[in-house]
Structure 1
Amino acid sequence: MKLRTLSSLGLGLVLASVIHQPKTSAHGVAIDYQATEAIAIQAKYDSGKPMSNAQVVVYAPNNPTQAWQTGVTDSDGKFTFVPEPNVNGNWTIKVRSAGHGSVVNIPIEPLQAENDHQIQEEISENPNTNLGQSPRASSSITGELSTPQKILMALTGSWGFVGTALFFSRKKQESKVSN
């Protein structure tokens, strides 16, 4: 009788946890950047709160194992650096604060004469071309779990609870038989 009640309770807990899933707010991190002559990044948590005073480490493409520059974000989660103009490739920026962090790779490529020629043609054909816009990208690691992941976590947690209860109920039955 107790086993049946315990099983029903376990099944009820599993169903309740799968059906009623409040949104979790893990501390994922998003980093946005804008390429100008300098690279400006802004790091913030999933909630939108800026990562103020977070540690920043910049790695150059020609030496990705040694920090090229280190620093700290401001109160708005912003950090700016000027990469060496003759070093092209992916600049890696790591931002960490209180165990949370993210990495973004920012490609820096040289302007070629052909690209300059194409830009000049575009300007002559359309003088209203907006050259003030620079490329943007972002990196985001979020703490959101998919529905199958939530169900699996609920089932494994419930199974652990039920299994532990069954283990202890078995011990009591064995001790009654031996007496």
Structure 2
Amino acid sequence: MVSKTLSKISFGLMIFFAVATDKVLAHGSVINYQTKESIEIEAKFDNGTPMKNAQVVIYSPSNPTEAWLTSNTDENGKLIFSPDFSQQGNWSVKVRSAGHGTVINIPIESPATEADNSKTPEIITSRSTPPQPLNATLTMTQKLMMATTGVWGFVGTALFFSRKKD
């Protein structure tokens, strides 16, 4: 009797989870930067919330495997650092907070000429890949397989606990 009731509940849960189409709630991150005498980065989650006290690791173009600087963003998700402008190439900046983050490459080129100094600083944005809704990435066959294994687990557990004890 107990196993039939649990089996019906499991089947109902299987149908519910197979048909449910709500999106997974998650967010990516956005990093902006400006190059002046120093570089200011601003890290935010996709919803605009600053990435407070996020871990920042900066790699120079001459040694992209060893951290050149390790620091944290401030309460507004900002960090200012002065790279060695003699090291031309892409400076990689990795920002992570609460399992979210992204990497941005900041190109450092030869010293600017006076004509170039009249330009306003360019603001560049790097955006991590937005998360896909779970249902958009799974086929119906995959959903049914997952639901079936879930039901199998529920039924197996119910049968285990409803067995007669000697």
Give the corresponding residue for 1:43: 43
Give the corresponding residue for 2:108: 108
Pairwise CA distance, 1:106: 1.2
**For the structure 1 residues 82 and 155, does the alpha-carbon distance in structure 2 shift closer, same or farther, using more than 3 Å as the test?**
farther
CA distance in 1, matches of 2:55, 2:8: 53
Report 1:1-179 matches (<5 A): 9=12, 12-18=15-21, 21=22, 23-110=23-110, 131-145=119-133, 147-150=135-138, 154-165=143-154, 167=156
Pairwise CA distance, 1:32: 1.5
Pairwise CA distance, 1:145: 2.8
**For the structure 1 residues 85 and 45, does the alpha-carbon distance in structure 2 shift closer, same or farther, using more than 3 Å as the test?**
same
Pairwise CA distance, 1:86: 0.9
8 A contact 2:29–2:45 mirrored in 1: yes
Pairwise CA distance, 1:170: 8.5
**For the structure 1 residues 82 and 160, does the alpha-carbon distance in structure 2 shift closer, same or farther, using more than 3 Å as the test?**
same
8 A contact 2:92–2:105 mirrored in 1: yes
Pairwise CA distance, 1:43: 0.9
**For the structure 1 residues 31 and 154, does the alpha-carbon distance in structure 2 shift closer, same or farther, using more than 3 Å as the test?**
farther
AA matched with 1:54: A
Please state whether the residue corresponding to 2:43 is helix, strand or coil.
strand
CA distance in 1, matches of 2:94, 2:84: 18
Pairwise CA distance, 1:58: 1.1
What is the number of residues matched between the two proteins?
Answer: 157
Q: Which runs of 5+ in 1 are unaligned?
A: 121-129
CA distance in 2, matches of 1:14, 1:156: 11
**For the structure 1 residues 32 and 154, does the alpha-carbon distance in structure 2 shift closer, same or farther, using more than 3 Å as the test?**
farther
| Higher helix content, 1 or 2 | 1
**For the structure 1 residues 37 and 25, does the alpha-carbon distance in structure 2 shift closer, same or farther, using more than 3 Å as the test?**
farther
Please state whether the residue corresponding to 1:102 is helix, strand or coil.
strand
Higher relative contact order (CA 8 A, sep 6+): 2
AA matched with 1:49: T
CA distance in 2, matches of 1:5, 1:69: 58
TM-score (norm 1): 0.67
Bigger Rg, which one = 1
Pairwise CA distance, 1:61: 0.5
Cα deviations by residue, 1:58-107 (Å, 9 ceiling, x for unpaired): 11100112221222211110111111121111101111223333221111
